[in-house]
Copies of this chain bind each other. A is one copy, B any other.
Amino acid sequence: MLSQVVEGESQVHFRMHQFLARENGKPEALFYIQEGWACRYRLLSDGRRQITALYLPGDYCDPQWVLGGVSSQPVVAITNVRALRLPCRIPSRADFDGQHAFWKALAGMIERQTNWLVSLGRMTALERIAHLLLELFDRMRQAGLAYGQQCAMPLTQIEIADMTGLTPVHVNRTLQSLRARELIELQSKWLRIPELSALRDVFAMTG
């Protein structure tokens, strides 16, 4: 149907490890993720990697592109991804709902990025990983992708390390510690949080 292809809007697919955007290029499109996970990251010349954003179903990737900049960091698919390809500019003013939703999404991304700064700067390994898992579970729940107390968790421990600023070895030991305290169950890419409040007690945020 032609009517579905409004302003170049169309559905696209990416395979695991495929790039949605490369660095130093003008992003050619804005993607509305419908299924799968992706992430933005930066590499240092000696191989150290820091993931700087995670895109889940329902997220725009990357919202800041509409502000007119370039994509200074690559975005890669963590799992297979199905997305809507949108024109890379501020949503039409006629579409008030869409515009409002988009600004809200951008504000949400900034808010999460700020929380992440606190996590990386001032939290211990245990707190960082608890914080990450809680955020992921919450976002999956808001996307309607949580089932009871569990949700999919496709990240490898290496990817968790690259998000939390730790080494894979220490991520492994920290996850074991969380498991031993019965705060999480995590196996075969599936996360279960028996008691949200118990996991939240791990870190001590004010406000």
B44 and A107 form a contact (CB under 8 A):
no
B207 and A68 form a contact (CB under 8 A):
no
Q: Which of A11-19, A108-116, A188-196 lines the interface with chain B?
A: A108-116
B67 and A103 form a contact (CB under 8 A):
yes
Q: How far is the CA of A43 from the CA of B204 in the complex (A)?
A: 10
Interface string of A131-167 (1 = CB under 8 A from B): 0000000000000000000000000000000011100
Shortest CB distance A93–B (Å): 9
The copy count of this chain in the complex is 2
Interface string of A104-133 (1 = CB under 8 A from B): 101100110110111011110000000000
Q: How far is the CA of A165 from the CA of B203 in the complex (A)?
A: 16
Provide the residues of chain B in CB contact with A181, threshold 8 Å.
none
B207 and A42 form a contact (CB under 8 A):
yes
Indicate if A46 sits at the interface (CB-CB under 8 A). Answer: yes
Interface positions, chain A 175-207, Cβ under 8 Å from B, are: 203-207
A207 and B24 form a contact (CB under 8 A):
yes
- Most B CB within 10 A of own CB, among A103, A117, A203: A117
Q: How many residues of A contact B (CB 8 A)?
A: 43
Indicate if A23 sits at the interface (CB-CB under 8 A). Answer: yes
Interface positions, chain A 8-56, Cβ under 8 Å from B, are: 23-24, 40, 42-46, 48-50, 52-53
Closest 8 A-B residue pairs measured CB to CB? A121-B165, A120-B120, A67-B107, A50-B121, A45-B204, A69-B107, A50-B118, A48-B122
* 20 interchain pairs, CB-CB under 8 A: A42-B114, A42-B118, A42-B205, A42-B207, A44-B203, A46-B204, A50-B122, A64-B107, A67-B103, A67-B106, A68-B100, A68-B103, A69-B107, A72-B114, A73-B207, A110-B110, A113-B114, A116-B117, A117-B117, A120-B165
